[in-house]
Amino acid sequence: MKVPIRWLKDYVDFDLSLEALVNRLALAGLEVSGIKHWGVPAPEGLRLGTEDPYPVWDKDKIIIGLVTKVDKHPDADRLKLPTVEYGLGRSITMVTGAPNLAVGDTGQKIILALSGSVLFDGHATPKVLKELKPGKIRGITSDGMVCSGFELGISEDHDGIIILDDDAPVGMPLVDYFGDSIIELDILPNKARCLSMIGVAREVAAMTGGKLKSFEHKPNSFGPAITGKVNVVIQDTSACHRYTASLIENIKVAPSPAFLKRRLHQAGMRPINNIVDITNYVMLEQGQPLHAFDYDVLCSRAKGKTPEIVIRFATKGEKIKTLDGLDREISAETLVIADALGPIAIAGLMGGAETEVTESTSRVMLESANFDFLAIRKAMKSMALPSEAATRFSKGIHPDQVIGGANRALQLMQEFAHGLPAEGRIDCYPFPKPLQVIDFSLAEAKRILGIAIPIEECTKLLTSLEFKVEKVSNEMLRVTAPTHRLDIQVGVADLLEDIARLYGYDKFPETSLSEQLPPVLIDPELDFERKIKDTLVHLGLQETIAYSLTSPEAEAAFLESSKPAYVTLLNPISSERTVMRQSMMASIVSLTQANLKHTECVKLFEVGKVYQKVSGQTLPVEPYKLAIAICGPRNKPFWVEDSSGKNNLNFFDLKGIVEGLASGVHLEKVSFQPGNHPALHPGKSATLLIRDKVAGMFGVLHPKLASTLGLDNHEIIAAEFDLLTLASGLPVRYLSKPVSRFPAALRDIAVVVDQSITGQTVTAEIQAAGGNVLKVARLFDIYQGDRVPAGTKSLAFALSYQADDRTLNDKEVDKLHKKIEDRLKHVLKAQIRGKEV
């Protein structure tokens, strides 16, 4: 909502600087999102919206002038020499090319800029400010200029100079005549009443203690009564609460007076003609949209009968050509204004072309009606036809507003279009809206607001917003809402809001909660998630958060074909984000790939949700998953050591992360099996089991998939685990182990076994033979090659023997070591490699 300050001051006097006004409005819930200045300097410290330079109109140099004569330029056909008087007997002749000033013209009020004025250069794009200098144009001295809106910085119009109304005072500085600031307000849904100058003026009055000026205007004379000239039938009273029709005859359609056009322009509307402009002006002033029909067209459509206006829903397939010249099919849930021949307007949205006011119109039927906000919202949506009127209707207007709006329009049409209104109006208002009366208890106010605002203060604040307040007791007020307020619902909550904001939140003290603490809320998953994240960060991984919206194509290769149904967006913003993701591995691989473009070593994880529809259930499930991906060299190249041997991260790095995570959060019953996941290398992937339940998979990205993704040069190792399954491995408590105080004996052992025997099997056998005294059996080398028989491999372990109760002697260690060797030989058919190892 654009509000020119001068226009606002038509309805309320206030003595606030622009800066203070903007601040007060913001505190009261009317945020100013932008400001445009017309020739006035921007106040210090307030540069909202207008960072761009604009001309500031010099009082002494930009002045209202009167054209006394216009002579021909002796040497140029298209140039003219107007002589302009500008007060105190001063006059000046200059050269102009303005098309709307003709040789021989006299009497126009124009805007004169004298040399030294700073204006936009009329010939430069983009706009540049330029000082006007005296000069000669084709031999004639020109020390001034008649101005266009473009040069003044108030419109984009180059083509003609501004012609002011006849009553413009000659010699007055332009900045005094219509210099202004236009503030743009963001109107919240509960302040729809402020989609009008008067609505804003009411707020300013209440805020400043200023008085609202009367804005009720009526025509001062009437012609013959409207009776019998038009009939109105509301067919659907739930969609149209009230419909009034007035008639005005004898009008002359012409351009609007300059002030009216200017105000429409300031408020962001385009002037059309005096009748249409007046309907728009009244809408901007009062918030009540109006529509003018050519009454003679209505009569001719009625073919001699009395025109009958019917407000009804469109029937299937009905069409209308609207004011904008488009043929539109009207959807069935759209309310129309119709006569015997069919729709003449789409209610609240746009009028029809056939009945619109034209230059030849002499009689107008003026509609001032109240449509249900829901009906208009639906129509706006289905017809895709937003308009200033529809916006206002769709946010709700009180039905009492129709009368003031109609009266004001008739008065203006009388004044500016020579019209003679017919006496009376047709007013169809089947179910008048009852007054909203609320019993307001001070105790209740104290309970919600936390402070006791005295009863006199409450009364004063409510009265300032035009509530009627009656004192029932020292504790209770009976409050009647004014008939321009639709937002006041049953109960005190809405009144409290008005009281609190007018009282001023800055006067509210800060208190600490004294309410008792609630019962403890336990969310084990949240705690687990926190631990998982912390552990992975300690293990050197970076947390990421990917979009949870993706496309089925992007993650197809990462999912089993039997995946659950997708949660699919009805209105995606792009083809890349059409569904809610099901694979976190897909999104983390994609993030890894993106980072590999600039970072050598990428180690990422994400804890997030996937989304799966469940058949027979309305709501999808949203399980939490953990995804990990790593890629690149294990160590950063560093200047100290030789970094030539770039060892890349491999399967075992990720397995190590998983093991580190498992031990970091103390998971129990963790085991691994060879994996099978469509996105992973079949021989280089594993399944993670927790208490024998599959928690997820990890491994090297399948070479085929990697190649499809353009990752031939990178080996990404990725994982996805189900968080809840991981959490199932959490013990209720985990036990500590005593630390032995006796020295450990270290021995190595190297065994050659068949290639099919897993490392885990060998370790298990060593551990089984070593018993309690064998504290550590750490694999430190694997060898396959010429030095061992074909089909075998050598595994070397570092063993640490340590008793809890004594120092082991060599003999004991030898015996135990031998036992392990024997067991490996016997059970795994292993060969023990040279003792010297």
Q: Which residues inside 370-409 make contact with another protein, applying CB under 8 A?
A: 373-374, 377-378, 394-396
**Subset of 282-301 contacting another protein (CB under 8 A):** none
34 vs 134 by CB, closer to another protein: 34
From 507, 3, 498, 505, select the one nearest 206 (Cα to Cα).
Answer: 498
594 binds another protein (CB under 8 A): yes
Q: Does residue 443 bind another protein (CB under 8 A)?
A: no
Cβ nearer to another protein, comparing 538 with 691:
538
Residues 177-216 that bind another protein (CB under 8 A): 188-192
The least CB distance from residue 619 to another protein, in Å, is: 7
Which of 135, 146, 133, 138 is closest to 101 using CA atoms? Answer: 146
Q: Does 739 bind another protein (CB under 8 A)?
A: no
Pick one of 68, 93, 115, 548: the residue that binds another protein (CB under 8 A): 548
Minimum CB separation of residue 371 from another protein in Å reads 13
Q: Beta strand 308-313 with 231-234: parallel, antiparallel or unpaired? A: parallel
Stretch that binds another protein, among 150-158, 193-201, 546-554, 810-818 (CB under 8 A): 546-554
Comparison of 351 and 396: residue with beta carbon closer to another protein: 396
What span, in angstroms and rounded, lies between the C-alpha atoms of 39 and 153? 8
Say how far residue 734 (Cα) sits from the centre of its chain. 49
* 126 preceded by a cis bond (ω within 30 of 0): yes
In 3D, which of 226, 198, 270, 245 has the Cα closest to residue 9?
198
The only residue of 235, 340, 547, 673 in contact with another protein, by rule CB under 8 A: 547
Instruction: Convert residues 804-833 into a mask of x (bound to another protein by CB under 8 A) and - (unbound).
Output: ------------------------------
Element (H, E) at 707: helix 703-708
Closer to another protein by CB, 163 or 375: give it. 375
Of these, 78, 316, 598, 806, which contacts another protein (CB under 8 A)?
598
CA 763 – CA 779 distance, rounded (Å): 8
Residue 541 found at the interface with another protein (CB under 8 A):
yes
797 sits in which H/E element? strand 792-801
Stretch 411-440 residues interacting with another protein (CB under 8 A)? none
C-beta separation of 744 from 593 below 8 A: no
Which range, of 361-369, 382-390, 503-511, 736-744, touches another protein by CB under 8 A?
503-511
| Minimal distance, residue 634 CB to another protein, in Å | 9
Whether the CB-CB separation of 718 and 742 falls below 8 Å is answered with: no
Our finding on whether 676 is near another protein (CB under 8 A) is no
Establish if 595 lies at the interface with another protein (CB under 8 A). yes
What count of other Cβ atoms lies within 10 Å of the Cβ of residue 60? 9
564 touches another protein by CB under 8 A = no
Q: Which tokens go with 728?
A: 């199932």
Residue 381 C-beta: closest distance to another protein, Å: 9
**Which residue in the set 17, 141, 382, 599 belongs to the binding site for another protein (CB under 8 A)?**
599
**Residue 516, Cβ density class (10 Å: 0-12 exposed, 13-18 middle, ≥19 buried):** exposed
DSSP-derived pairing of the beta strands 223-225 and 319-321: unpaired
Please report how close the Cβ of residue 538 comes to another protein at its closest, in angstroms: 7
Pairwise CA distance, residues 634 & 648, whole Å: 5
Residue 452 touching another protein (CB under 8 A): no
Residue 798: C-alpha distances to residues 178, 751, 794, 826 (Å): 94, 12, 13, 20
- Contact between 618 and another protein by CB under 8 A: the answer reads yes
Smallest distance from the beta carbon of 525 to another protein, in angstroms?
8
Which residue matches tokens 């182990």? 737
CA–CA separation, 27 and 717 (whole Å): 55
- Under the binding rule (CB under 8 A), the answer on residue 523 touching another protein is yes
- What is the rounded distance in angstroms from the CA atom of residue 360 to the CA atom of residue 297? 11
Shortest separation between residue 518's beta carbon and another protein, angstroms: 5
Pick from 200, 247, 461, 604 the residue near another protein by CB under 8 A: 604
Q: How far is CA 24 from CA 192, 510, 607, in A?
A: 18, 21, 45
Q: Does 611 bind another protein (CB under 8 A)?
A: yes
Q: Which is nearer to another protein, 511 or 713 (CB)?
A: 511
Give me the least distance between CB of 542 and another protein, in Å please: 5
Looking at the Cβ atoms of 109 and 392, the one nearer to another protein is 392
In the complex, what is the shortest distance from the CB of residue 202 to another protein, in angstroms, rounded to a whole number?
Answer: 15
Does 620 engage in binding with another protein (CB under 8 A)?
yes
d(Cα 181, Cα 6) in Å, to the nearest integer?
A: 8
Based on the shown chain and the rule CB under 8 A, indicate whether residue 549 belongs to the binding site for another protein: yes
Q: What are 260's two structure tokens?
A: 């009216």
Interaction residues for another protein, span 30-49 (CB under 8 A) = 31, 45-48
Instruction: Indicate the residue type of 68.
Output: T
For another protein, give the closer residue by CB, 254 or 332: 332
Query: Which range, of 109-117, 130-138, 547-555, 666-674, touches another protein by CB under 8 A?
Result: 547-555
Nearer to another protein, 418 or 609 (CB): 609
Comparing CB distances to another protein, the nearer of 119 and 458 is: 458
Q: Which one, 288 or 792, has the nearer CB to another protein? A: 288
The distance of closest approach from Cβ of residue 15 to another protein in the complex, given in angstroms and rounded to an integer, is 22
Stretch touching another protein by CB under 8 A, among 68-76, 282-290, 357-365, 449-457: 449-457
What's the rounded Cα separation, in Å, for the pair 275 and 277? 5
Measured CA to CA, the distance from residue 678 to residue 560 in angstroms comes to: 7
Q: Is 98 in the site for another protein (CB under 8 A)?
A: no
Nearest alpha-carbon partner for 546 in 628, 661, 632, 650: 628
Residue given tokens 């190792």 in the structure block:
717
Q: Identify the residue among 102, 340, 435, 537 touching another protein (CB under 8 A).
A: 537
Q: Which is nearer to another protein, 552 or 678 (CB)?
A: 552
374 or 746: whose CB is closer to another protein?
Answer: 374
- If one asks whether residue 496 binds another protein (CB under 8 A), the answer comes out as yes
- List the structure tokens of 664: 């970091």
Query: What gap in Å lies between CA 701 and CA 586, rounded to an integer?
Result: 11
- For the beta carbon of residue 577, count every other beta carbon within 10 angstroms: 16
Closest CA to 247 of 363, 358, 338, 344: 363
SS3 475: coil
**Which DSSP letter does residue 248 get?**
E
Q: Nearer Cβ to another protein, position 56 or 607?
A: 607
